[in-house]
């Protein structure tokens, strides 16, 4: 991503990897990498575009790591504004969880975009929809993010630089938007290419 020029016609929807997905990094190194990756995304999104992050807090060595906070710290350093923050329920309210929170943060940022309040959407999503794998964004949650880009920005391309099994790409395509994904795993890439969803 370091060599990628600034996007002119695309917004981003992504989930940055957990420390478990980059096991060669220590916790401090992973936090620094995580915030650096978020900063690179903010630097590439056009002023009238958005960067939407879907992040689940995790427990590491008995201590909770707030990934929403890590994204927000990078956003403040980059000078981008938080347009909305939603809680997406991964588990029913009242569920006991251990290593991964029963909710995810959905955080939407932009430099210049300021949609009217009259078009606000719910702050808590009780049904995130089908998950294509255990760490995926639910299809309904992803549809909310894609719909926001389609209605509130001039962008017609969605980029996911950590696309995993391709939920974001498939949902964007279902809404008639082009989508570009980046993924290191060849197995996940094959699954992403074949994934179809109903929105």
Which pLDDT tens digit goes with each residue over 5-46? Answer: 788 899 999 999 999 888 899 999 999 999 999 999 999 999
* Secondary structure class of 117 (helix, strand, coil): helix
CATH number at residue 50: 3.40.50.150
Least confident of 1-15, 35-49, 89-103, 114-128: 1-15
**Within a domain: 15:** yes
Query: Residue 161 belongs to what domain range?
Result: 10-194
CB atoms within 10 A of CB 75: 22
Q: Distance between CA atoms of 168 and 178, rounded to whole angstroms?
A: 11
What is the overall mean pLDDT for the chain?
91
Whether the predicted pLDDT of 129 surpasses 70:
yes
Q: What is the reported pLDDT for 182? A: 84
**Helix (H) or strand (E) segment spanning residue 70:** helix 67-78
CB 54, CB 13: distance < 8 Å? yes
Q: What is the reported pLDDT for 8? A: 85
Q: Work out the average pLDDT over 104-121.
A: 94
The neighbouring-strand residues paired with 65 are: 58
What's the token pair of residue 67? 């990934």
What's the token pair of residue 179? 């989508």
Specify the number of domains making up the chain.
1
Q: What is the reported pLDDT for 196? A: 78
**Within a domain: 161:** yes
Q: Distance between CA atoms of 124 and 71, rounded to whole angstroms?
A: 19
**Within a domain: 199:** no
């Amino acid at each position: 991503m370091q060599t990628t020029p600034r996007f002119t016609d695309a917004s981003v929807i992504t989930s940055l990897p957990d420390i478990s997905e980059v096991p060669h990094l220590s916790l401090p190194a992973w936090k620094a990498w995580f915030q650096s990756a978020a900063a690179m995304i903010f630097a590439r999104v056009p002023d009238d575009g958005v960067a939407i992050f879907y992040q689940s807090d995790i427990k590491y060595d008995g201590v909770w790591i707030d990934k929403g906070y890590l994204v927000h710290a990078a956003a403040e350093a980059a000078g981008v504004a938080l347009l909305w923050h939603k809680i997406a329920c991964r588990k029913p309210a009242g569920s006991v969880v251990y290593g991964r929170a029963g909710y995810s943060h959905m955080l939407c940022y932009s430099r210049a975009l300021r949609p009217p309040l009259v078009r606000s959407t719910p702050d808590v999503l009780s049904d995130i929809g089908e998950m294509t794998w255990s760490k995926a964004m639910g299809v309904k949650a992803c549809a909310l993010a894609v719909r926001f880009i389609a209605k509130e920005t001039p962008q017609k391309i969605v980029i996911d630089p950590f696309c995993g099994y391709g939920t974001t790409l498939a949902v964007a395509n279902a809404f008639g938007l082009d989508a570009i994904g980046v993924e290191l795993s060849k197995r996940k890439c094959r699954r992403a290419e074949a994934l179809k969803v109903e929105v």
